[in-house]
Amino acid sequence: MSDSVYLEDLAVGQTFSNGPVELTAEAIKAFATQFDPQPFHMDEKAAEASFFKELAASGWHTAALTMRLLVTGGPRLAWGHIGAGGEVRWPRPAYAGDWLTLHGEIIEIAPSRSKPDRGIVRVRLVTRNQRDELVQELVARVLVPRRPASP
Amino acid sequence: MSDSVYLEDLAVGQTFSNGPVELTAEAIKAFATQFDPQPFHMDEKAAEASFFKELAASGWHTAALTMRLLVTGGPRLAWGHIGAGGEVRWPRPAYAGDWLTLHGEIIEIAPSRSKPDRGIVRVRLVTRNQRDELVQELVARVLVPRRPASP
């Protein structure tokens, strides 16, 4: 796609994909040490004794990797990918050694009622592991500018 | 609180707080380089020319820092903080030099209908900057075990 995608260039049902990207044990531990310092995200032995049974990534790590896949493989929006929020769920953990793939689909395009220069696009971002199992579903609201009028 | 908080130990309306924690320009750039490589999260000049006008953190960075504040300052749940998902919104960005504080409140406690050993707790996690402005609101669903029956 072009480098300046505006609201008018998007269509409901439009899809994109990116990945896979590897989730290493080292990356899981590094993320968790900084942002989610719970033993089952930082140590294999502690993970075995936990709810997870093996080293699992913080859900926020899965979300952050998904963002990387979106930014590097999604539509090249004119303002960039600026999220207003969304609904996230993690039906199963992502584990050390998993390879994650993103599939995105635009599900709604709504011009703003109060701000004529932009709209909100709802996009479903599905992150799966190498066994095609869902590790994250995110329905995100993204700010997208309308195409400026010609001068 | 004790080190092993079970579902029965929690109450709707219970609150907790943690922070503030500083959001530095270096941390914003490091997170973005790894997970949200957009110029306005990695470079002050690019940020000035962007929607944000100054160096702003990725929303996922704000979420990750919020998780750190929850894990280090929230209830010490018996299984740890294991999120099933949630709804997040970012009404305004967090900027370089901001100091972020977390306020949490338990808003719902629901024993699982299918799994008698656990329940789902809904918690509202509000992240504010040093001007008391809301930078993130997250309503998270957290898996919490029920207290095991005495032997």
Burial A48-62 (b: 16+ CB within 10 A, else e): eebebeebbbbbbbb
User: What 3-state DSSP class applies to A6?
Assistant: coil
Q: For chain B, how big is the Rg over CA atoms in Å?
A: 18
Which residue range forms the structural domain that includes residue A99? 7-145
CB of A121 closer than 8 Å to CB of A142: yes
In single-letter form, the type of residue at position A80 comes to G
A73 located within any domain: yes
Is the CB of A88 inside 8 Å of chain B's CB atoms?
A: yes
CB of B90 closer than 8 Å to CB of B78: no
A151 located within any domain: no
Of B50, B64, B89, the CB nearest to A85: B89
pLDDT at residue A150 in the model: 74
**Contact state of A84 with B89 under an 8 Å Cβ cutoff:** yes
- List average pLDDT for each run of 10 residues in chain B, which is 151 residues long: 83 98 98 98 96 97 98 95 97 98 98 94 98 98 92 64
pLDDT over 90 percentage in chain A? 95
Q: Which residues of B touch A65 (CB under 8 A)?
A: 35
Rounded to two decimals, the pTM is 0.96
A79 located within any domain: yes
How distant is the Cα of A137 from the closest Cα of chain B, in angstroms?
9
Question: What are the pLDDT digits (tens) for A70-104?
Answer: 999 999 999 999 999 999 999 999 999 999 999 99
Q: What is the CATH number of the domain that holds B104?
A: 3.10.129.10
pLDDT over 70 percentage in chain A? 97
Cβ-Cβ contacts under 8 Å between A and B: the total is 93
**Contact state of B67 with A35 under an 8 Å Cβ cutoff:** yes
Per-residue pLDDT band for A1 (boundaries 50, 70, 90) equals: very low
A37 located within any domain: yes
Question: What are the pLDDT digits (tens) for A107-142?
Answer: 999 999 999 999 999 999 999 999 999 999 999 999
Is the CB of A142 inside 8 Å of chain B's CB atoms?
A: no
pLDDT at residue B151 in the model: 64
Burial B97-113 (b: 16+ CB within 10 A, else e): ebebbbebbbeebeeee
A2 located within any domain: no
Question: What are the pLDDT digits (tens) for A20-29?
Answer: 999 999 999 9
Task: Share the mean pLDDT of chain A.
Answer: 96
B50 located within any domain: yes
Chain B residue with minimal CA distance to A31? B64
3-state helix/strand/coil string of A111-147: ECCCCCCEEEEEEEEEEECCCCCEEEEEEEEEEEECC
Q: Which two tokens stand for residue A110?
A: 């709504």
Average pLDDT over residues A41-47: 97
Q: Which of B81, B82, B87, B122 is the best residue to mutate to test the A interface, defined by the most A CB atoms within 10 Å of its own CB?
A: B82
pLDDT at residue A140 in the model: 98
B2 located within any domain: no
Our count of domains for chain B comes to: 1
B122 located within any domain: yes
Is the CB of B49 inside 8 Å of chain A's CB atoms?
A: no
**Contact state of B59 with A88 under an 8 Å Cβ cutoff:** no
In which residue are the tokens 């995105």 written? Answer: A104
**Contact state of A80 with B34 under an 8 Å Cβ cutoff:** no
Q: What is the DSSP letter of A53?
A: S
